[in-house]
Homo-oligomer: A and B are copies of this chain.
């Protein structure tokens, strides 16, 4: 395996998403239509959707969540794209990131000029324990699941290993959550758009209103250390270390580089693409890093001809807070074992040197698993074009990165996007 070049360049000329959250009565179809309509509105110049050549849909398991397989042609039909080829791509929580990559390859192949890539998941119709079981099918059902693992357990194992190796503490993880909730409070599409302080004050007010003793949390960290407020799910991962169960969809429009100007005044270019696979977690030599993420990152940097230091901001796969710290090392932003210190020092905050998850990340924005990879692209699209509103990062931005993980890293896919003007 070697890093190769795309036979022709690909540009991102539109992106949109549904609100992420829990939407009783809405199906995958409704959410996908919502995202598709917003994507259409985001395209600078008028174009005829009938010229679209193919649709790629990331979806983890509508089979189990909604009793619906064969989702891609259904989505095509609901957004009026029939009879173009419609392909569902599944790589667990990396489904949409991999769908994006397939869309890029389809254009590079010469078979398509204009491609819609999206992702969708409707998770909240199932009971919580069923959701956990469904997500567990993304692990190894022969070896890992019978041993009692579910995903909070996997990431808790990674977190304890990381703490033992490098000195991070449960507070480190809490600080990641606080940062992402702060970011998400500026994102109108986020499932949890409240800062942790806001949640804390609301809890106090509610207690006071009911005439109960008002908890004396003096700051967010004290609030998060209180088991009543933030119960342990799988130590050291507590409730606010875990991304939520979510419904949502995200859609992006890709075109060949030579068409970009016909669609957009300000297109964004695909500079780097990387993807790798791995075996089960128990087969790894080291729980403190995700090898597929390191490889995917290296491929993407090599293709883009840049270094980690050139990335202005990144949307990484913070399914659990520990995952964001590990990602920040796997992507080369910080040395191995140093990511937690950078997080504690605020280097990954909006105001830091390497802002991570300006959207709020999966933690606050929500994690409709099969949609998250393209949800990340929506943020990059907005930030690189200066359209992120209240949460716009100041200054001239050139490179944004997305990092999307399936399972515990059996899949990782990384994309680097570039603004060229």
Contact = CB atoms under 8 A, between A and B. Distances in A.
A53 B141 contact: no
Interface in A123-153: 134, 137-142, 145
Given A69-B60, A87-B91, A109 B6 contact: yes
Interface of A: 1-2, 4-8, 27, 29, 50-53, 55, 60-61, 63-64, 66-70, 72-74, 76-77, 81-92, 98, 101-102, 104-113, 134, 137-142, 145, 273, 275-280, 283, 291-292, 295, 406-407, 410-411, 413
B88 A89 contact: yes
Given A69-B92, A69-B138, A82 B113 contact: no
Contacts of A105: 102, 105-106, 109, 111
Contacts of A66: 141
14 contacts: A1-B84, A61-B69, A63-B64, A67-B141, A72-B90, A73-B278, A74-B140, A77-B277, A77-B279, A77-B280, A77-B410, A85-B275, A88-B91, A90-B90
A83 B8 contact: no
A98 B84 CA distance: 13
The oligomer's copy count stands at 2
Nearest to A93: B70
Given A67-B141, A77-B278, 8 more contacts: A64-B64, A81-B277, A82-B278, A83-B277, A85-B101, A85-B413, A107-B109, A109-B109
Contact of A111 (B138, B273, B276, B277): B273
A27 to B, nearest CB: 7
A87 B89 contact: yes
Nearest to A409: B73
A70 B90 contact: yes
Contacts of A8: 7
B86 A277 contact: yes
Contact of A110 (B6, B83, B276, B291): B6
